[in-house]
Structure 1
């Protein structure tokens, strides 16, 4: 009973101190407080400097230890202890692994920490313990803490209120965009991709110039994410949605090449892998796919990567495997292709928000403007304080004798201090500064320096006040500082952008221009701007057109627009499609990329003809045009273009090729042309197109010309419009001889090449001798075009068609290019004439492989003019012809 009475008495005394609460409401409150703590204090980055608190504290701790890029390395454990003990009261491993990631080149697009020691690898190797590794700041990180001592950012108390730390860093770099961020909070997450610094800064400057810039215009500057491990971004729609809305999806592929060893065996070499993919795990996954028979055609896979040469995963193929098919299977079944969900969530004024690319830039620029204003105010305050002291010095110097006498007569410093203030009108600060002035400052030279410093400080004050009063000037400063950052740290994109076939709007991002497309004998393709090929005089040596292997040479060369589609025909009668802009761009001497990396050509097949198609979407266009295919044995096949208007990645059968035959040429017509076919022995046939009926895609076709000799074969086919009387037939022989001939004589109207039925033998089109070699090709040309000739050695020459003589069809022609012993012409093509001055020197390749220049038309002794030299060559040709006739 006594205990119950005591408890009742205690309850009566505590009544009013115990507050009854609803447990459900209390849990809600606690959970919201916890979630906001995680969101703000751990998982989401600040939109201004792009950092979470732990990253910010690591850099601030390194700054306080003076661990700069030009100072010695410090042990990682020292930095971890500094950060953990002063600012980040969490486990040491969380701080150390943050530092490690900031130093990994494959994890950060622009690393912030310079690490020395074992910091792990892309193969999943763990970093060494913090007692073994050393770190210091990168110069890139120093750009993020610059001006932090100029009152540019706010500070807050640390966890025990003993120190202060910055709430944000005054970064000059748009860190959140260039390095991205990822984190999982409570009820939300962020996953922001890294971007290229140069592109981001260009976008920031474009936004400063026009705050109302449209998002569609802005993404022309910031095209897509740019990953530290490179790779290929496949498809653009998901990327575009992320840039426009803040949410999207990016598909990333590894970069592959196909190599062939001396035995002709192919292997796929993976040189770049998708972001955040483990190389060892990828290799293991490919091995599992082989063992489980998911992918067929692979004999072995090895990870040959190292820190010096980078990523190299080699996939050995069986002889019967098609390399591009295997690559596509790897994309489908392994992490060689991955996708990332983009979710641009960041803290804006302490609250999480989804941001598109313009909003991210806007928030950063607004923050930079605030930093510039605060920095300018700080510098103005310091400048005014210094000017005030210098004005006190000047007052003292102007009254030097009186000041010295006053100080000597004063019994104490306090009396002197008050005397300077009362007698010379100095402030308390000025009076104190004058009393502390060293005697050496009273020399004549030092007095002049004081006056000069005052003049300079007054100019600085005027400049700083102007900055504070002029918003345009402040934004110009931001632009200048961004341009400086770009100049210091900007680089080229690492991730290539490849647009998916169903994305039509991508053409808006591709500049339309004419390019020269070349395909070598061994199947290397590239595109080069047509402006890179100079026009030269007939008879010249030419210029180096491509760096090919000794046994390789340029076999196909033509001009196309970057917005067009190429139809690629192989000697076995298959047809493939390739967008011109997808062809890798290279300079005139680069080798290019293996065509097997781009289309699924069988190892024993070869490209023989290419047609440039403007637009497959135009129904009227595809219904009124035809594809003509010609084989080596003289077969010709005609099909509607519409039959080829649905591209397939694996290709289609265009014509049935009989055993021993090959496809050699393809042309597109409007159905009303005349066809000319020529054979190696120098004969050509001309017949109307309507003599060939359309048999449809995949058929055999009909005979176009008779090929009756064992060593003879068809070398080319052209289609001509008879209404165009300006066109001539250009023929070129193996050893560099050629000429032009009108189809019909322009004066008499008589046919030089008579019209016959298809299937005949034809007539002579060029006189074939040992000096000329066999016929290699024919073209229909006008005088407004240029001719480009490529030799098997790689030498290329471009000349005006109008410089080539018009002759009758039975002559051998004139020398167009000097062909070295053992060399021969591999390909000819026509280009639109460019308004260029004729160049009398050309780049040639010496025997030792070096590049030299020499006169295009070597002038014999006594002939200084290049035109005279050309005439001399023609005279030599005439003399040789006379000699041959005499021998006959």
Structure 2
């Protein structure tokens, strides 16, 4: 019988955790993060090693990229060909890598994000600089390990005779770790490394006198040296990177913005598209055309401006709202001592210098061993030439090679190695003049052995050797800095009033919180139609406004949304608006109670706030001019259990009227409410009875309003004269405006100031809406009930009242 199968009964979380842990360790160490020593990820290292081993070097003709990819996959990297080819291509792209490690012939992509041609069409070879990464790899400079199928060996790291990690940077994402190391200038990094070799205890400030900051392949400007210093100290930080743009004046006085450099890793086509969208959507006025004039002579994006346009403000707007300026986050994580570490500038340089010392020591040991062996052989050859005739006679008498070696060893005292060299010597070498060459070689070997022993025996000599080689690298490969470093981050000042296209539009806000602006053309074409909204919704606000105006939306929870009119969604009159929650963050249970248009915040005007619990607050309008619009801001401090009822704009000389649910009305001067700050709670406006609440509050005399109009929950309506409520003081109970009934007493739902021919919309419990013309309602005394206009027995009690907004006429 076959042996019974064995099963392990393990909890799933243990199995998953163990497997994911192994996978994470692999992709951290063996895939996504670079090594601090040579700055390469495994796939990059394998590509370069395979190219050198295949003799695909910078001084040889190009070879098909597919051949390199095949070699890498077959011998060292058992993964998909696309991952290998993408890594190969990236190492050749001059806009992605500061000093190319691979040279490619054919389409290797573009800064516009175009993909490269397939690997069967492109050709590649290793660059001369990358060959310096692998120089002396055959001299036992680095450790080798078996490849994935044990048929070959591959290096753990490369010798790397220049600090590649800092020079070319790196980016990658693994499990739990990510890295973003910017590229730097080769000459500056080598200078810093040489300084650190001389003074290992130097400070970060010392190193920063050599390394000014990142040096991106596409140039640009880095702003914020203080942030940069922090990032170099901790390994983590952020700086501002902006493209290079100049304002040029053309004939006729027109100006244009010419962009010649863009930030690192920004896709140019997307940047141009975004700029053109700003022009097309009329986010700002003044851009006539956005054109990409890039050709083989260099990158160039031209933003043509209209006459009289404010070029500086438009440029600042582009910096602020496009990828012409980005925040680059430094997160310098690399593999050091077989583990990922967040490393500052000094630890990264220290890791490279330690690696170089190890490489040079290993190379020196290897070369010393080879020189010593050769010296021994040369000594044997020199001795052989001195007894040449006897030696030849002895060899001719021997039976074979082994016999000859034994005979000459016994006769002249040669070692096994020397005897082997002598019997393998070619006849033409047996000339009298050859002794001079051997003596010269022996002399050179003695000097070499002395030099190598000095390197191995003296740390000072070791440092001198590394410095000398670094200086040669700098002389041969360093170029000028491309990125400008600026100490301070420039504050972007954008004069939106200058750049917003001034246009008259129709703005609507619905009670459900949907907002939009509509062009005069769309409004005119649909003037007799109801604006687009849900059947259960109605207009809260409708007005003709200018795109340079501002709309303030106040919510029941005491917050407000600041929306410049030009930022309202431009939607046709017939279509539904966009919910205000898409423009600014609002709580789910919050809703709009009032929309207030503002043309200017400079005028001496006030905002009056009224809450259901009878609080009143007055603040200066200019306090509510905001700089950020992404979320709702605090309009006033609301006590628990209270909500904002209404907001009004006043000139400071009005009177205030409060009306409560139980039928009390109070009138007092606005001046009794002191002016307070934006976040204050206000003062008591009316003294409420227990279980009473405010249903309406407003300043008066209101524009065109001739009377007060009240509606009770039982459908009773009436008009009252203003003079029935003489002016009193705030925080009083007020005068009654309802007849007291013992059974089912009336409760006010709303009190509104109305004109003669105004229409009110009355909503009842069955969700039906009843329009009521105020012209047909007569005046009553404040203690009378009024007329019943709605049968609440069939339709349910009155729940809400609001003025009908006539969208067929402008409210100028």
TM range (shorter): 0.5 to 0.7
Q: Distance in 2 between matches of 1:370 and 1:27?
A: 40
> Which one of the candidate residues 202, 210, 230 is aligned to 1:241?
230
Find out whether 1:340 has 2:340 as its counterpart: no
Q: Distance in 1 between matches of 2:201 and 2:249?
A: 53
SS in 1 for 2:433: helix
Deviation at 1:260, TM superposition (A): 1.4
Find out whether 1:420 has 2:420 as its counterpart: no
Find out whether 1:54 has 2:28 as its counterpart: no
Find out whether 1:275 has 2:264 as its counterpart: yes
Contact residue 219 and residue 261 of structure 2 kept, 8 A: yes
Find out whether 1:299 has 2:288 as its counterpart: yes
Aligned residue number for residue 78 of structure 1: 67
Contact residue 76 and residue 130 of structure 1 kept, 8 A: yes
Q: Distance in 2 between matches of 1:270 and 1:438?
A: 69
Deviation at 1:23, TM superposition (A): 3.1
> Which one of the candidate residues 232, 239, 242 is aligned to 2:221?
232
Q: How many residues align?
A: 491
SS in 2 for 1:237: helix
Q: Distance in 1 between matches of 2:171 and 2:228?
A: 17
Q: Distance in 1 between matches of 2:285 and 2:357?
A: 59
Post-superposition CA distance 1:671-728 (Å, at most 9, x none) = xxxxxxxxxxxxxxxxxxxxxxxxxxxxxxxxxxxxxxxxxxxxxxxxxxxxxxxxxx
Aligned residue number for residue 453 of structure 2: 465
Q: Distance in 2 between matches of 1:328 and 1:22?
A: 59
Contact residue 240 and residue 489 of structure 2 kept, 8 A: no
Post-superposition CA distance 1:421-452 (Å, at most 9, x none) = 22211111111111111222121111221122
> Which one of the candidate residues 454, 473, 481 is aligned to 2:442?
454
Q: Distance in 2 between matches of 1:214 and 1:172?
A: 24
Deviation at 1:83, TM superposition (A): 1.0
SS in 1 for 2:137: coil
Contact residue 219 and residue 243 of structure 1 kept, 8 A: no
Aligned residue number for residue 886 of structure 1: none
Aligned residue number for residue 496 of structure 1: 484
Q: Distance in 2 between matches of 1:415 and 1:489?
A: 55
SS in 1 for 2:253: coil
Q: Distance in 1 between matches of 2:142 and 2:179?
A: 25
What TM-score do you get using the length of structure 1 for normalisation? 0.54
Find out whether 1:330 has 2:318 as its counterpart: yes
Find out whether 1:107 has 2:85 as its counterpart: no
Aligned residue number for residue 483 of structure 1: 471
Find out whether 1:319 has 2:307 as its counterpart: yes
Contact residue 114 and residue 138 of structure 1 kept, 8 A: yes
Deviation at 1:19, TM superposition (A): 4.2
Post-superposition CA distance 1:545-589 (Å, at most 9, x none) = xxxxxxxxxxxxxxxxxxxxxxxxxxxxxxxxxxxxxxxxxxxxx
Q: Distance in 2 between matches of 1:276 and 1:501?
A: 20
Q: Distance in 1 between matches of 2:151 and 2:244?
A: 52
SS in 1 for 2:251: coil
Aligned residue number for residue 382 of structure 2: 394
Structure 1 residues not aligned, in runs of 5+:
1-8, 504-888
> Which one of the candidate residues 415, 424, 428 is aligned to 1:440?
428
Find out whether 1:89 has 2:71 as its counterpart: no
In 2 relative to 1, CA 113–282 (structure 1 residues): closer, same or farther, beyond 3 Å?
same
Find out whether 1:170 has 2:170 as its counterpart: no
Matching of residues 613-692 of structure 1 within 5 Å: none
Q: Distance in 1 between matches of 2:307 and 2:12?
A: 72
SS in 2 for 1:277: coil
Aligned residue number for residue 358 of structure 1: 346
Contact residue 192 and residue 343 of structure 1 kept, 8 A: yes
Q: Distance in 1 between matches of 2:298 and 2:227?
A: 29
In 2 relative to 1, CA 412–312 (structure 1 residues): closer, same or farther, beyond 3 Å?
closer
SS in 1 for 2:371: helix
Cα-Cα RMSD:
1.6
SS in 2 for 1:68: coil
Find out whether 1:408 has 2:396 as its counterpart: yes
SS in 2 for 1:341: strand
Contact residue 216 and residue 482 of structure 2 kept, 8 A: yes
Aligned residue number for residue 289 of structure 1: 278
Q: Distance in 1 between matches of 2:158 and 2:382?
A: 40
In 2 relative to 1, CA 413–309 (structure 1 residues): closer, same or farther, beyond 3 Å?
closer
SS in 2 for 1:103: coil
SS in 1 for 2:138: coil
Aligned residue number for residue 139 of structure 1: 128
Post-superposition CA distance 1:312-365 (Å, at most 9, x none) = 111111111121111111111111111111111000121100100000000000
Post-superposition CA distance 1:271-305 (Å, at most 9, x none) = 10011111111111011112223222211111111
Q: Distance in 2 between matches of 1:279 and 1:18?
A: 57
Post-superposition CA distance 1:789-813 (Å, at most 9, x none) = xxxxxxxxxxxxxxxxxxxxxxxxx
Deviation at 1:259, TM superposition (A): 1.1
In 2 relative to 1, CA 19–124 (structure 1 residues): closer, same or farther, beyond 3 Å?
closer
Post-superposition CA distance 1:744-764 (Å, at most 9, x none) = xxxxxxxxxxxxxxxxxxxxx
Deviation at 1:253, TM superposition (A): 0.5
Find out whether 1:385 has 2:381 as its counterpart: no
Contact residue 440 and residue 446 of structure 1 kept, 8 A: no
Q: Distance in 1 between matches of 2:10 and 2:349?
A: 46
Matching of residues 760-771 of structure 1 within 5 Å: none
Q: Distance in 1 between matches of 2:117 and 2:55?
A: 24
Contact residue 75 and residue 135 of structure 1 kept, 8 A: yes
Contact residue 51 and residue 125 of structure 2 kept, 8 A: yes
Matching of residues 199-238 of structure 1 within 5 Å: 199-238=188-227
Deviation at 1:501, TM superposition (A): 6.0
> Which one of the candidate residues 188, 196, 199 is aligned to 2:185?
196
Contact residue 254 and residue 308 of structure 2 kept, 8 A: no
SS in 1 for 2:309: coil
Deviation at 1:86, TM superposition (A): 1.1
Contact residue 441 and residue 447 of structure 1 kept, 8 A: no
Q: Distance in 2 between matches of 1:205 and 1:192?
A: 21
In 2 relative to 1, CA 501–352 (structure 1 residues): closer, same or farther, beyond 3 Å?
closer
Deviation at 1:398, TM superposition (A): 2.2
In 2 relative to 1, CA 471–297 (structure 1 residues): closer, same or farther, beyond 3 Å?
same
Find out whether 1:159 has 2:148 as its counterpart: yes
SS in 2 for 1:21: coil
Find out whether 1:128 has 2:128 as its counterpart: no
Q: Distance in 2 between matches of 1:408 and 1:383?
A: 31
In 2 relative to 1, CA 501–342 (structure 1 residues): closer, same or farther, beyond 3 Å?
closer
Larger Rg, first or second structure (1 or 2):
2
Deviation at 1:390, TM superposition (A): 1.0
Q: Distance in 1 between matches of 2:85 and 2:342?
A: 30
Deviation at 1:411, TM superposition (A): 2.8
Q: Distance in 2 between matches of 1:265 and 1:19?
A: 79
Deviation at 1:394, TM superposition (A): 1.8
Contact residue 376 and residue 418 of structure 2 kept, 8 A: yes
